[in-house]
């Protein structure tokens, strides 16, 4: 999706074999200094600095909530910053669930697969937030639809000069 000179800000468990990066300065991942929701703001900032570069933010649904979707989409629209946002939506705070299971799997907190404090269902309609701000937005419920959705999002960014969001429903 990003091409060889596109910039990716990854805040999720994006597999690099799916988007091989060989050019320095084209891939940034969450550092210890970062936090939930940083990738969308970082992508918007990068687009200001490099307006001709295709820019993508990958983020989980919990991170997207922390990113403040309304503010992110307003900035993208108001400042004409066409970026692509891919939300990996498993309807849970993965970091909270993983920490709970690592420390308290055998206790009450580990019941129900550790989702007691990590459940985000029902999922926010992230695509609707984006549409409200003029973005191309789509929800993907079936894996077979993902390739076309990503291509449409790329087209919206590159040819229509508007930001895009792909809300990918996933089990993990």
Residues 137-161 have pLDDT tens digits of 999 999 999 999 999 999 999 999 9
Whether 16 shows a pLDDT value over 80: the answer reads no
Q: Is 169 exposed, middle or buried (0-12, 13-18, 19+ CB in 10 A)?
A: middle
Highest mean pLDDT pick, 63-72, 89-98, 110-119: 63-72
> What is the domain class of 7-169 according to CATH?
alpha beta
Domain assignments of the chain as residue spans, ordered by start:
7-169
* Threshold 0.75, pTM exceeds: yes
């Amino acid at each position: 999706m990003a091409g060889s000179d596109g910039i990716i800000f990854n805040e999720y468990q994006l597999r690099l074999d799916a988007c091989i990066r060989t050019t320095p300065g084209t891939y940034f991942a969450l550092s210890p200094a970062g936090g939930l929701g940083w990738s969308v703001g970082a992508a918007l900032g990068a687009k200001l600095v490099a307006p001709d570069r295709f820019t993508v933010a990958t983020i989980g649904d919990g991170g997207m909530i922390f990113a403040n979707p309304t503010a992110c989409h307003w900035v993208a629209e108001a400042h004409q910053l066409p970026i692509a946002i891919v939300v990996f939506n498993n309807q849970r705070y993965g970091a909270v669930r993983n920490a709970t299971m690592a420390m308290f799997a055998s206790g009450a907190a580990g019941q129900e697969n550790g989702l007691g404090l990590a459940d985000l269902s029902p999922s926010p309609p992230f695509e609707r937030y984006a549409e409200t701000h003029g973005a191309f937005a789509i929800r993907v419920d079936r894996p077979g639809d993902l390739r076309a959705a990503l291509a449409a999002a790329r087209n919206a960014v590159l040819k229509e000069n508007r930001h895009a969001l792909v809300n990918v429903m996933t089990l993990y």
